[in-house]
Amino acid sequence: QQKVQQSPESLTVSEGAMASLNCTFSDGTSNNFRWYRQHSAKGLEVLVSIFSDGEKEEGRFTAHLNRANLHVSLHIREPQPSDSAVYLCAVSTSNTNKVVFGTGTRLQVLP
Amino acid sequence: EAAVTQSPRNKVTVTGGNVTLSCRQTNSHNYMYWYRQDTGHGLRLIHYSYGAGNLQIGDVPDGYKATRTTQEDFFLLLELASPSQTSLYFCASSEGGRNTGQLYFGEGSKLTVL
Protein backbone atom coordinates (compact mmCIF):
# COMPACT_ATOMS: atom_id res chain seq x y z
CA GLN A 1 0.00 0.00 0.00
CA GLN A 2 1.42 3.34 -1.07
CA LYS A 3 2.52 5.55 1.81
CA VAL A 4 2.90 9.27 1.17
CA GLN A 5 4.36 11.44 3.92
CA GLN A 6 4.86 15.19 3.92
CA SER A 7 7.13 17.39 5.98
CA PRO A 8 7.06 19.65 7.78
CA GLU A 9 3.53 19.44 9.18
CA SER A 10 3.47 23.21 9.40
CA LEU A 11 5.72 25.96 8.14
CA THR A 12 5.81 29.69 8.79
CA VAL A 13 7.78 31.98 6.51
CA SER A 14 8.00 35.70 5.95
CA GLU A 15 6.64 37.27 2.82
CA GLY A 16 9.27 37.08 0.08
CA ALA A 17 11.31 34.25 1.63
CA MET A 18 11.51 30.90 -0.16
CA ALA A 19 9.18 28.16 1.17
CA SER A 20 10.21 24.52 0.70
CA LEU A 21 7.90 21.55 1.24
CA ASN A 22 8.78 17.86 1.07
CA CYS A 23 6.96 14.69 0.11
CA THR A 24 8.21 11.10 0.26
CA PHE A 25 6.45 8.10 -1.23
CA SER A 26 6.93 4.36 -0.90
CA ASP A 27 6.01 2.91 -4.30
CA GLY A 28 8.92 3.21 -6.70
CA THR A 29 6.67 2.53 -9.71
CA SER A 30 4.84 5.84 -9.15
CA ASN A 31 5.10 8.02 -12.21
CA ASN A 32 2.63 10.85 -11.75
CA PHE A 33 3.04 13.61 -9.16
CA ARG A 34 1.09 16.76 -8.44
CA TRP A 35 1.04 19.45 -5.81
CA TYR A 36 -2.33 20.82 -4.72
CA ARG A 37 -3.26 23.81 -2.59
CA GLN A 38 -6.31 24.03 -0.36
CA HIS A 39 -7.58 27.18 1.31
CA SER A 40 -9.60 26.59 4.54
CA ALA A 41 -11.21 23.17 3.85
CA LYS A 42 -12.39 24.35 0.48
CA GLY A 43 -11.74 22.82 -2.91
CA LEU A 44 -8.28 21.88 -4.10
CA GLU A 45 -6.40 23.48 -6.97
CA VAL A 46 -3.49 21.94 -8.85
CA LEU A 47 -0.31 24.00 -8.73
CA VAL A 48 2.21 21.92 -10.66
CA SER A 49 2.47 18.45 -12.20
CA ILE A 50 5.67 16.48 -12.78
CA PHE A 51 6.23 13.10 -14.42
CA SER A 52 10.01 12.64 -14.76
CA ASP A 53 13.09 13.35 -12.69
CA GLY A 54 14.20 16.95 -12.58
CA GLU A 55 12.26 20.11 -12.08
CA LYS A 56 9.06 21.65 -13.40
CA GLU A 57 8.20 25.31 -12.95
CA GLU A 58 4.74 26.86 -13.01
CA GLY A 59 4.99 30.54 -12.18
CA ARG A 60 6.29 30.92 -8.62
CA PHE A 61 5.90 27.19 -7.94
CA THR A 62 8.68 24.69 -8.77
CA ALA A 63 8.51 20.95 -8.22
CA HIS A 64 11.60 18.75 -8.00
CA LEU A 65 11.34 14.99 -8.47
CA ASN A 66 13.91 12.36 -7.58
CA ARG A 67 12.30 8.97 -8.09
CA ALA A 68 15.38 7.02 -6.97
CA ASN A 69 15.12 8.76 -3.59
CA LEU A 70 11.31 8.48 -3.58
CA HIS A 71 11.12 12.22 -3.05
CA VAL A 72 9.29 15.14 -4.57
CA SER A 73 9.47 18.70 -3.29
CA LEU A 74 7.72 22.01 -3.87
CA HIS A 75 9.45 25.38 -3.70
CA ILE A 76 7.45 28.57 -3.57
CA ARG A 77 9.34 31.65 -4.68
CA GLU A 78 8.41 35.00 -3.11
CA PRO A 79 5.47 33.65 -1.11
CA GLN A 80 2.65 36.03 -0.29
CA PRO A 81 0.13 36.00 2.57
CA SER A 82 -2.47 34.79 0.06
CA ASP A 83 -0.36 31.63 -0.33
CA SER A 84 -1.22 30.67 3.26
CA ALA A 85 -3.01 27.34 2.87
CA VAL A 86 -2.60 23.59 3.18
CA TYR A 87 -0.40 22.02 0.51
CA LEU A 88 -0.92 18.40 -0.49
CA CYS A 89 1.14 16.19 -2.73
CA ALA A 90 -0.64 13.55 -4.79
CA VAL A 91 1.15 10.44 -6.04
CA SER A 92 -0.21 7.97 -8.56
CA THR A 93 0.66 5.46 -11.23
CA SER A 94 -1.00 5.75 -14.62
CA ASN A 95 -1.60 1.99 -14.87
CA THR A 96 -3.73 1.77 -11.71
CA ASN A 97 -5.15 5.30 -11.57
CA LYS A 98 -5.10 5.11 -7.79
CA VAL A 99 -4.31 8.58 -6.44
CA VAL A 100 -2.87 8.78 -2.93
CA PHE A 101 -2.44 12.06 -1.10
CA GLY A 102 0.11 13.02 1.50
CA THR A 103 -0.66 14.20 5.01
CA GLY A 104 -0.38 17.87 4.10
CA THR A 105 1.75 20.86 5.10
CA ARG A 106 0.07 23.93 6.54
CA LEU A 107 1.90 27.02 5.29
CA GLN A 108 1.56 30.42 6.88
CA VAL A 109 3.10 33.44 5.17
CA LEU A 110 3.56 36.45 7.42
CA PRO A 111 3.43 39.97 5.94
CA GLU B 1 -20.80 25.81 -13.91
CA ALA B 2 -19.64 23.20 -11.38
CA ALA B 3 -18.43 20.03 -13.06
CA VAL B 4 -18.43 17.91 -9.88
CA THR B 5 -21.43 18.36 -7.61
CA GLN B 6 -21.84 16.77 -4.20
CA SER B 7 -24.95 16.47 -2.06
CA PRO B 8 -25.80 17.00 0.65
CA ARG B 9 -23.25 19.66 1.59
CA ASN B 10 -23.95 19.19 5.27
CA LYS B 11 -25.43 16.20 7.05
CA VAL B 12 -25.97 15.38 10.70
CA THR B 13 -26.99 11.89 11.74
CA VAL B 14 -26.90 9.71 14.81
CA THR B 15 -24.83 6.63 15.55
CA GLY B 16 -26.25 3.70 13.62
CA GLY B 17 -27.92 5.93 11.07
CA ASN B 18 -27.95 5.38 7.33
CA VAL B 19 -26.27 7.99 5.13
CA THR B 20 -25.84 8.31 1.38
CA LEU B 21 -23.51 10.90 -0.11
CA SER B 22 -24.04 11.64 -3.78
CA CYS B 23 -21.63 12.84 -6.44
CA ARG B 24 -22.31 13.77 -10.05
CA GLN B 25 -19.71 14.79 -12.62
CA THR B 26 -20.27 16.34 -16.01
CA ASN B 27 -16.63 16.05 -17.16
CA SER B 28 -17.22 12.78 -19.04
CA HIS B 29 -14.38 11.33 -16.96
CA ASN B 30 -13.91 7.62 -16.50
CA TYR B 31 -12.55 7.76 -12.96
CA MET B 32 -14.32 8.91 -9.83
CA TYR B 33 -13.03 8.94 -6.27
CA TRP B 34 -14.26 9.33 -2.72
CA TYR B 35 -11.90 10.75 -0.09
CA ARG B 36 -12.27 11.74 3.51
CA GLN B 37 -10.29 14.59 5.01
CA ASP B 38 -9.35 14.78 8.67
CA THR B 39 -6.84 16.99 10.44
CA GLY B 40 -3.42 15.39 10.40
CA HIS B 41 -4.31 12.81 7.76
CA GLY B 42 -4.59 14.78 4.57
CA LEU B 43 -6.98 13.16 2.10
CA ARG B 44 -7.51 9.43 2.48
CA LEU B 45 -8.93 7.33 -0.34
CA ILE B 46 -12.05 5.36 0.51
CA HIS B 47 -13.16 3.93 -2.85
CA TYR B 48 -12.77 4.71 -6.52
CA SER B 49 -14.23 3.55 -9.80
CA TYR B 50 -13.30 3.49 -13.47
CA GLY B 51 -16.79 3.24 -14.87
CA ALA B 52 -20.39 2.26 -14.30
CA GLY B 53 -20.63 -0.91 -12.27
CA ASN B 54 -16.94 -0.89 -11.31
CA LEU B 55 -15.60 -0.43 -7.79
CA GLN B 56 -12.01 -0.36 -6.55
CA ILE B 57 -11.11 -0.53 -2.88
CA GLY B 58 -9.18 2.38 -1.48
CA ASP B 59 -7.02 2.64 1.63
CA VAL B 60 -9.70 3.23 4.29
CA PRO B 61 -12.74 1.27 3.05
CA ASP B 62 -14.02 -0.18 6.34
CA GLY B 63 -17.56 0.96 7.12
CA TYR B 64 -18.15 2.32 3.63
CA LYS B 65 -19.84 0.97 0.55
CA ALA B 66 -19.87 2.70 -2.81
CA THR B 67 -21.72 2.28 -6.05
CA ARG B 68 -21.16 3.76 -9.50
CA THR B 69 -24.52 3.63 -11.21
CA THR B 70 -23.65 5.59 -14.35
CA GLN B 71 -20.65 7.34 -15.89
CA GLU B 72 -21.80 10.48 -14.08
CA ASP B 73 -22.94 9.23 -10.66
CA PHE B 74 -20.96 7.81 -7.75
CA PHE B 75 -22.50 7.21 -4.33
CA LEU B 76 -20.93 6.62 -0.94
CA LEU B 77 -23.01 4.66 1.56
CA LEU B 78 -22.62 4.51 5.32
CA GLU B 79 -25.09 1.89 6.51
CA LEU B 80 -24.30 2.03 10.24
CA ALA B 81 -22.71 5.39 10.79
CA SER B 82 -20.28 5.78 13.69
CA PRO B 83 -18.78 8.92 15.28
CA SER B 84 -15.38 7.97 13.78
CA GLN B 85 -16.90 8.67 10.37
CA THR B 86 -17.44 12.31 11.22
CA SER B 87 -15.38 13.99 8.53
CA LEU B 88 -15.29 16.14 5.43
CA TYR B 89 -15.86 14.02 2.34
CA PHE B 90 -14.67 14.95 -1.12
CA CYS B 91 -15.63 13.44 -4.43
CA ALA B 92 -13.40 13.87 -7.47
CA SER B 93 -13.21 12.84 -11.10
CA SER B 94 -10.28 12.22 -13.41
CA GLU B 95 -9.68 11.43 -17.04
CA GLY B 96 -7.12 8.79 -16.07
CA GLY B 97 -4.08 7.66 -18.03
CA ARG B 98 -1.38 10.36 -18.18
CA ASN B 99 -3.88 12.69 -16.52
CA THR B 100 -4.19 10.39 -13.52
CA GLY B 101 -3.78 12.60 -10.50
CA GLN B 102 -5.34 15.59 -12.26
CA LEU B 103 -8.44 15.49 -10.10
CA TYR B 104 -11.45 17.75 -10.29
CA PHE B 105 -13.05 18.05 -6.89
CA GLY B 106 -16.50 18.73 -5.60
CA GLU B 107 -17.02 21.27 -2.84
CA GLY B 108 -17.14 18.67 -0.09
CA SER B 109 -19.79 17.15 2.16
CA LYS B 110 -19.46 17.69 5.89
CA LEU B 111 -20.81 14.73 7.84
CA THR B 112 -21.35 14.77 11.59
CA VAL B 113 -22.27 11.55 13.38
CA LEU B 114 -23.54 12.15 16.92
Cβ contacts from A onto B, under 8 A: 70
pLDDT at B1: 59
Q: Which residue type, as a one-letter code, is found at position A86?
A: V
Answer whether A28 touches B (CB < 8 Å): no
Other Cβ atoms less than 10 A from the Cβ of B59: the count is 15
d(CA B77, CA A38): 26
Positions in chain A whose pLDDT score sits under 70: 41
Cβ distance of B103 and A100 shorter than 8 Å: no
Backbone dihedral region for residue B113 (phi beyond 0: left; psi -120 to 50: alpha; all else: beta): beta
Q: Which residues contact A98 (CB under 8 A, 6 or more apart)?
A: A2, A92, B45, B48, B56, B58
pLDDT at B100: 81
Chain A: residue nearest B101 by CA? Answer: A99
Mutate to test the interface with A, among B32, B99, B103 (most CBs of A within 10 A): B103
Chain A: residue nearest B9 by CA? Answer: A42
Q: Is B2's pLDDT higher than 80?
A: no
DSSP class of residue A10? E
d(CA B102, CA B88): 20
